[in-house]
C-alpha cells in the first residue's frame, strides 16, 4: 500500500506544471523602469502562463516568446490576477496594451504581428506612462522559443 501512495505522489509531482522557480528570468527596461520577467519560451510554459498565481510582485511579470510574429491572443482562464498585457514587435516596440480580468475566456489579441507579449499587474503600463509605441529593452536577450 505504501509503495502505491509513493507512486501516486511521484506521478502527480511529475505531471505538475513547472513552477515559477523553474522558468528563466531576464531583466527588461521600459523607460526608467526595471522589470524582472519570467520567460515562457516553450509551449507548456506559454500555456501555463500566470495561471493559478495569487500574487505578482511589483515590477515583475512574464514575457511570452513566440516562435514567429503573428496576431497572438491571450486569455485568463484559471488566472486569478487582473493583468495588463503589452504585445511587442520583433524590436520590443509596444503594438498595443490590453487590460484583462481574472478567470475570463475573453480573447485579447495583438493589433499587428507580435513576437512577444509581456504580462504585468493590471494598470502597470498606464501608471508608468508607457503606451503603444514605447519600447521594452532587453527582449532580444530572451531564450529562443521552443
Range of the domain at 51: 17-141
pLDDT band at 22 (very low <50, low <70, confident <90, very high): confident
Residues 67-101 have pLDDT tens digits of 999 999 999 999 999 999 999 999 999 999 999 99
pTM (2 decimals)?
0.85
* Closest alpha carbon to 78 in 52, 43, 56, 106: 52
**The CATH number of the domain where 71 resides is what?**
2.60.120.1140
Tell me how many domains the chain contains: 1
The answer to whether residue 53 is domain-embedded is yes
Distance CA(110)–CA(98), nearest Å, equals 9
Amino acid at each position: 500500500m505504501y509503495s502505491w501512495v509513493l507512486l501516486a505522489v511521484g506521478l502527480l509531482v511529475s505531471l505538475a506544471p513547472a513552477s515559477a522557480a523553474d522558468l528563466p528570468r531576464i531583466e527588461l527596461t521600459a523607460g526608467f523602469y526595471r522589470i524582472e520577467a519570467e520567460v515562457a519560451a516553450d509551449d507548456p510554459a506559454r500555456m501555463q502562463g500566470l495561471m493559478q498565481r495569487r500574487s505578482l510582485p511589483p515590477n515583475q511579470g512574464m514575457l511570452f516568446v513566440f516562435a514567429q510574429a503573428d496576431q497572438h491572443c491571450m486569455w485568463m482562464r484559471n488566472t486569478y490576477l487582473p493583468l495588463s498585457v503589452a504585445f511587442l514587435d520583433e524590436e520590443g516596440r509596444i503594438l498595443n496594451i490590453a487590460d484583462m480580468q481574472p478567470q475570463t475566456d475573453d480573447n485579447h489579441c495583438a493589433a499587428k504581428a507580435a513576437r512577444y507579449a509581456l504580462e504585468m499587474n493590471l494598470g502597470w503600463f498606464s501608471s508608468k506612462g508607457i503606451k503603444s509605441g514605447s519600447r521594452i529593452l532587453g527582449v532580444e536577450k530572451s531564450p529562443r522559443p521552443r
